[in-house]
Amino acid sequence: MAETSAPEGGNSLGSSLAAFLDRRFGLAENGTTVRTEFVAGLTTFLTMVYIVFVNPEILSNTGMDRGAVFVATCLAAAISTLIMALYANYPIALAPGMGLNAFFAFTLVLGVYKYTWQQALSFVFIAGLLALVITATKLRETIITSIPQNLKLAVSAGVGLFLGIIALEQSGIVVASPATLVTLGNLKEWPAILALAGFVLIVALNSRKILGGTLIGMLAVTLVGLALGLVHFQGIVSMPPSLAPTFLHLDFSRVFEHTALFVIVTLLFVDLFDTAGTLIGVSYRAGFLDDEGKLPRMGRALIADSTATSVGALLGTSNTTSYIESAAGVEAGGRTGLTGVFVAMFFLLALFFSPLAGMIPKYASAAALLYVACVMTQGLAGLDWDDITEYAPAVVTAIAMPLTFSIATGIGLGFITYALCKILAGRFAEAKPAVLVLAALFAVKFALASSSPP
C-alpha cells in the first residue's frame, strides 16, 4: 500500500504544479507545455550564455573587478529576465547588452571622457530611470516611431562595426599605426591565429544551427590555448565570487556636466532602438503581433526592459537589454514567460562557473565579439539604397562609430547630416521635429567640446 501511495502523491504534486503553471502563464492557451518551455529556456540560455564570459572581459578593462562583474552579469540577466517573464509573460531573455558594454568601457572610461567606472554606472542607472519614465508616459513609443528607420538600422550596424574593430584590436589582428591610424598586426602570433580560428568555427557552428555554437567556439580555442600554455587552468566550478567590489558603487558627482547629458541620451537611445528591434523581431517570429502589427502588452515589456537597466547598474554592469537570441527559444517552441523563468534559473546556476569564465582569454572573447559584430551589421542590408538622403547619413553614422571609437559620435553625426541633407534637398517634411531637435543638440555638443568628441 505504501509503495503505491508515494507515486500517487508525486503525481498529484506534479499535476498541481503543472496546473498552477498553466494558470499563471497560460500554457494551454498559448499552445505550449512545461517541457516545451524548459527546452526553449535551455535553448535561449545556450545561445546567449557567452555574455557571462565576454562582459567581464570587456568591463574589466576599466579596472572593475572581473569576478564581481561576472556575478553582476549573471544576476542582472536572471533578475531582468524574471521581471520580463513574470510581469509581461513573454519568452524574452535579457542580459547586459553587447555594444553598450564596449561603449561603457572604451568610450566613457578609457576614451577622452575619462570617467571612472563608478561615474559611468551612474549614467547607466539614470538612463534606465529615464527609459522607465518615458515608457510609463507613452513617450517612448512616440520617440521610436519618429526616428527614421534608416538611422535606426545604421545605429545597429554601426555598433556592430564598433564591436568589430574592438575584436580585431584585442586579438592583435589590427594594431595602431602612426602613418595610417591602423594597420595589420602580426598574424603569426597565436592570439591572432586563434581569434580567427575561433571566429570561423563560431560562424560554421551557427550556420549549422548547432545549439550553443558561440559558446562552443569560445571554449574550443580556449582549450587550444590551454594546450599551448597560453591559458592556465583555474578550475571549472566554485562558489561565486563576491559582488561587493561593484555592488551599489555608483558615483553621481559628474551627472550635471553638459557632456553627461549626451552620454545619458546616447545610452538611452541605443537601448531604445535595440529593445524595440528585439521585441518586434522576436514577437514576429513567435506570432505575438496582432492584425495591426502591434505587440500586446508592449508597455509591460518595455517597462520590464527599462527596469532591467537600472537594476544592472546597481549590481555593477552596463545597460541590460532584451536579447535577439531569444528568437532561438521561440523557434524551439517557447511562447510564455515560463521560458524566461527557466532562462533565469540557468543564469543563476552559471554563478558557480566563475573559474571557467576567468580562464576565457581575450582572443576567445574577441572571436565571439567579431561574430556578434557581423550579425549586427546586417542592418545595412535594410537601408533604402534608392534614396541618397536616406542612405548617406546612415553610412556616415555606421562608419563614424568605429573610426571615432564612439557610438555617441556616430549617432550625433548621423542625425546632423540627416537633418541637413533633408533640408538642403528641399524635403522639409521628412526632417521630423524629433530629428531636428536631436541634430541641434548634438551640434551644440560638438561645438562645446574642448577636444575631439568621444
Sequential DSSP letters for 80-139 = HHHHIIIII-----EEEPTTHHHIIIIIIISSTT---HHHHHHHHHHHHHHHHHHHHTTH
Q: Could you read off the pLDDT tens digit of each residue along the chain, which spans 454 residues?
A: 344 444 455 566 667 877 888 888 888 888 888 888 998 888 889 888 889 988 999 999 999 999 999 999 999 999 999 999 999 898 999 999 887 898 899 889 988 788 999 999 999 999 999 988 888 887 766 776 677 888 878 887 887 888 888 889 888 998 888 888 888 889 999 999 999 999 999 999 989 988 778 888 988 999 999 999 888 888 888 899 999 999 999 999 999 887 888 888 888 877 777 777 677 667 766 677 666 656 677 778 888 888 899 999 999 999 898 887 887 788 778 889 999 999 999 999 999 988 887 888 889 888 888 888 888 788 788 889 999 999 999 999 999 988 887 777 888 899 999 999 999 999 988 888 888 888 888 888 777 664 443 4
Query: Residue 439 carries which side chain, given as an amino acid letter?
Result: A
What's the confidence (pLDDT) of residue 408?
A: 76
Q: Give dist(CA 351, CA 22) in Å, integer.
A: 29
Per 3-state DSSP, the chain is made up of helix, strand and coil in percentages (nearest 5) of 70, 5, 25
What pLDDT, on the 0 to 100 scale, is given for residue 74? 96
Nearest to 428 by CA among 388, 386, 389, 392: 389
Residue count of the chain, please give it: 454
102 vs 270: CA distance, rounded Å = 13
Contact indicator for 391, 404 with CB cutoff of 8 Å: no
Q: What is the predicted pLDDT for the residue at 389?
A: 94
Strand partners, 181: 177
- Tell me what pLDDT residue 289 has: 67
Determine the 3-state secondary structure of 244 from DSSP: coil
User: Which residue is associated with the grid cell 524566461?
Assistant: 340
Report d(CA 153, CA 158) in Å as an integer.
8
Neighbouring C-beta atoms of residue 1, cutoff 10 Å: 4
Residue 363 and residue 225: Cα distance in Å, rounded? Answer: 9
| Amino acid, single-letter form, for residue 3 | E
Instruction: Please state, in angstroms and rounded to a whole number, the distance separating the CA atoms of residues 82 and 77.
Output: 8
261: enclosing H helix or E strand: helix 258-286
How many angstroms separate the CA atoms of 93 and 297, rounded? 16
To the question of pTM greater than 0.75 for the whole model, the response is yes
Q: 32: Cβ–Cβ under 8 A, 6 or more apart, which residues?
A: 333, 334, 335, 336, 338
- Burial zone of 177 (CB within 10 Å; 0-12 exposed, 13-18 middle, 19+ buried): exposed
Nearest to 328 by CA among 285, 271, 368, 289: 285
| pLDDT given for residue 67 in this prediction | 93
Q: What's the N-to-C CA distance of the chain in angstroms?
A: 75
d(Cα 111, Cα 118) in Å, to the nearest integer? Answer: 15
Residue 174 grid cell: 589590427
Give the SS3 label for residue 322.
strand
What is the DSSP secondary structure assignment for residue 275, as one 8-state letter?
H
Classify residue 333 by its DSSP letter: T
For 154-201, the DSSP string reads HHHHHHHHHHHHHHHHHTTSEEEETTTEEEE--TTSHHHHHHHHHHHH
